[in-house]
Amino acid sequence: QTRSLLGVFEEDAAAISNYINQLFQAMHRIYDAQNELSAATHLTSKLLKEYEKQRFPLGGDDEVMTSTLQQFAKVIDEASASAYFADLVISCHAVLSTQLADAMMFPITQFKERDLKEILTLKEVFQIASNDHDAAITRYSRLSKRRENEKIKAEVTEDVYTSRKKQHQTMMHYFCALNTLQYKKKISLLEPLLGYMQAQISFFKMGSENLTEQLEEFLTNIGTSVQNVRREMDCEVENMQQTIEDLEVASDPLYLPDPDPTKFPVHRNLTRKAGYLNARNKTGLVSSSWERQFYFTQGGNLMSQARGDVAGGLVMDIDNCSVMAVDCEDRRYCFQITSFDGKKSSILQAESKKDYEEWICTINNISKQIYLSENPEEMAARVNQSALEAVTPSPSFQQRHESMRPAAQSRPPAARTSSTGSLGSDSAALSALSLDSLVAPDTPIQFDIISPVSEDLPGQAKSSGQSGRRTNPFGESGGSKSETEDSILHQLFIVRFLGSMEVKSDESPDVVYETMRQILAARAIHNVFRMTESHLLVTCDCLKLIDPQTQVTRLRFPLPSVVLYATHQENKRLFGFVLRTSGGRVESRQTSICYIFESNNEGEKICDSVGLAKQIAFHAELDRKATEKQKEIERVKEKQQKELNKQKQIEKDLEEQSRLIAASSRSNQSSGEGQFVVLSSSQSEDSDLGEDAKKKRESE
């Protein structure tokens, strides 16, 4: 917005420069050619009259200036008209030339050569300082967080500090000059005209009867007004200089790209934020570029505005979106925003850790539609804890189970089926025998997702249907048609894989609760805290685990094989589902595998989405069967109709042949005796067939 306002001031300065150049040329004609005095005077008067037609973007008191210049134009016309009748000597013309040079040409020349050129010079210096600052910011943004070099970091930080300070100082002086130009514009217009009128008064001394007391009073008032404007300008310049000094002192800590967090704490209760961010744009399959733009929030929308744009444009709707920190291309302070439907995502980079955390907290607050409440800040304070969890790329599994680890380590291996579940669910009340009926003791647990390239388990491959190919989770068509392209439901969730194991039963949610307890307990005992993050895509055909970076499908679960799914009764972040497969360690029997995941407060939503997908698939299957049955009925009817049409055509042909035979018989009888018609064998056969058909119809 500052650059847009600056553009208005620069446009006004250009308009002033254009107008002053025209006025300067008009006055210079008066000075250069006395023989064209009348024409030049009329041109000056014309330009003064056209002042009201000029469109200065910052013309605050145009009505006062217009009326004053109109009065000047009227007086100039009267004075120039009387010049034709004045009998003046050559010395008077010399005096007039001297007075015009001193009182008229000098002020407007000084304004044109000094003040307007100063604006152009400051504009070029400001542009150079802005380019240096952008280059320093770009270099600072490319600092690696993996291979930090203190010397290079110090040099880059110093470069950012110097360039930012230089840009700020140049900007303030440039803005001061633009503001001062508004006062100098009035002075540069009125002073030459005042000098011109005084020279004309001296020149037409012989015609002093034309100079009334009213005109002298008008000129006196204009002179007083010019002095008042000058004093006001001096006072304003003094105030602006003092403001510049105060801002330089107060803004010194802000020149650092990453300020001290103790002096500038993070505000986590914001529902609006604006600032510069680096946006990641893909330029190819594996290549990308970063572009620095101004981003700001507006209600539930994230907007961006490029340099030179008058207004911002919509980036995405961030209502009900998800935001989380990501590691991207060895850059610091990166975070990813994913829309509620998962079809659009953006990776952005903040300049400092403070901005990085504030952006994540603000977007997290907006995604929960806190800005619609009566007291957004109070409401935002209640959700600070979830915003803090989103700042960290992966939640610390070790801290969440710190209290559980001593008990788990002291427990013997055989106690895995005891009733003291670590999750506190209803399955804690099951007996050891009932738990054994759900999950077999000593069943191996898989803590990570096995890629189909690295290991090929028969049961795993058959159950998951992994393809290992790159998949677009947002439903966009590529070179080949996606298998989920026609699916009605497309929902994307961010999940972290905790583990999977084979279970004995798939009929009760208790098997999911017990699997959660055993997997979490095993992770705590064996100090396994790393989790694989994936995107879970729910469609009407299957569930897919997609790599968030490469978009490669890690696992695929056919929806008909998902026979059970449930969310933990206390920790809603945990959810799981049971997959029934037709193979396993024993190929002749079916096996059931329970998969456990952790989400970002979306466990119930994911289960609801899976249930909705199964309902849609069920109704789609019913519609498909009904459609196939209807098509079969239509095919039978069509076949019967064809048979009926064929039979009718045969009967029609037989009737036609019968009529031909009858007509031929009558023709032979009328031709006389001794004349006979010899029928061919085919005609005889047709006749026999016709008689048989006729007898058949009569019998019917």
pLDDT in tens, 267-284: 888 889 999 999 998 887
Mean pLDDT, the chain, integer: 75
Q: Which fold has domain 399-601?
A: PH-domain like (2.30.29)
Q: Which CATH number fits domain 2-253: 2.60.110.10, 3.40.50.2300, 3.30.360.10, 1.20.1270.60?
A: 1.20.1270.60
Residue 141 has pLDDT above 60, yes or no: yes
Q: How many angstroms separate the CA atoms of 20 and 116, rounded?
A: 9
- The answer to whether the CB of 458 falls within 8 A of the CB of 583 is yes
- Comparison of pLDDT for 438 and 500, the residue scoring more: 500
Helices (H), 421-578: 432-438, 458-464, 510-526
Distance in angstroms (rounded) separating the CA atoms of residues 198 and 87: 19
- Going 81 to 87 to 93 to 99, the CA torsion angle's sign is negative
pTM of the model: 0.43
Q: Are strands 301-305 and 288-298 parallel, antiparallel or unpaired?
A: antiparallel
Between 42 and 150, the higher pLDDT residue: 150
Report the alpha-carbon distance of residue 59 to residue 545 in Å, rounded.
Answer: 62
Q: At what angle do helices 213-250 and 62-83 cross, to 10 degrees?
A: 140
**Cβ pair 521, 418 in contact under 8 A:** no
- Name the E strands within 518-561: 532-538, 542-546, 553-558
Q: Give the span between the Cα atoms of 515 and 606, in whole angstroms.
A: 18
Q: Determine the average pLDDT of the residues in 231-240.
A: 93
- C-alpha distances in angstroms, 256 versus 15, 145, 158, 259, 332? 38, 18, 8, 6, 16
Distance, in Å, from the CA atom of 386 to the CA atom of 285, rounded to the nearest integer, reads 34
Mean pLDDT of 377-394: 56
pLDDT of 391 reads 40
> Hey, which residues does 545 pair with through a beta bridge?
536, 555
More confident residue, 589 or 592: 592
Q: Parse the chain into domains and list their residue ranges.
A: 2-253, 274-391, 399-601, 618-669+676-699
Q: Which residues, in sequence order, are bridge partners of residue 369? A: none
Collapse the DSSP code of 554 into the 3-class scheme (helix H, G, I; strand E, B; otherwise coil) and give the result: strand
Residue 404's alpha-carbon distances to 345, 517, 539, in angstroms, are: 37, 11, 37
Through-space distance between the first and last CA atoms of the chain, rounded to whole angstroms: 96
With b meaning 16 or more CB within 10 Å and e meaning fewer, what string describes 93-104?
A: eebbbebbeebb
The radius of gyration of the chain's CA atoms, rounded to the nearest angstrom, is 45
The dotted CATH code for 274-391 is 2.30.29.30
**Sequence letter at residue 108:** I
Domains 274-391 and 399-601 share a fold: yes
Q: How many CB atoms lie within 10 A of CB 396?
A: 11
Q: Where are the alpha helices (DSSP H) in 142-212?
A: 150-203
User: How far is residue 36 from each of residues 42, 109, 115, measured CA to CA in Å?
Assistant: 10, 20, 29
Q: What is the pLDDT of residues 611-649, one digit of tens each?
A: 888 888 888 888 888 888 989 888 899 888 998 999 889
Cβ distance 591 to 602 under 8 Å? no
pLDDT at 464 over 50: no
In this prediction, residue 390 carries a pLDDT of 39
Mean pLDDT of 376-387: 66
What percent of the chain is modeled with pLDDT above 90? 13
pLDDT at res. 477: 40
Q: Which residue has the tokens 């009737």?
A: 655
What pairs with residue 543 in β-bridges? 538, 557
Q: Tens digit of pLDDT for each residue in 596-605?
A: 998 877 788 8
Taking only the tens place, the pLDDT of each residue in 179-228 is 998 888 888 888 888 888 888 888 777 556 555 666 677 778 888 888 98
Structure tokens given for 363: 């977007």
Residue (of 234, 272, 301) closest to 376 by Cα position: 272
- pLDDT at position 260, please? 80
Note the Cα 651 to chain centre separation in Å: 74
Residues 562-568, mean pLDDT to the nearest whole number: 90
pLDDT at residue 403, rounded to an integer:
39
- Output the six-digit token pair for 621: 């299957």
User: Which spans in 207-352 are helix H?
Assistant: 213-250
Closest by CA to 113, choosing from 28, 49, 56, is: 28
Q: How many Cβ atoms from other residues are within 10 Å of residue 627's Cβ? A: 10
**H-run or E-run covering 690:** helix 681-699
Whats the size of the chain, residue-wise?
700
Q: What percent of the chain has pLDDT over 70?
A: 72
Residue 360 has pLDDT above 60, yes or no: yes
CA of 257: how far to CAs of 154, 411, 665, in Å? 12, 52, 116
Going through 569-634 in order, the beta strands assigned E by DSSP cover 574-581, 591-599
- What would the two tokens of residue 329 be? 């291309």
Q: What is the pLDDT of residue 268?
A: 83
Query: How many CB atoms sit inside 10 A of residue 9's CB?
Result: 19
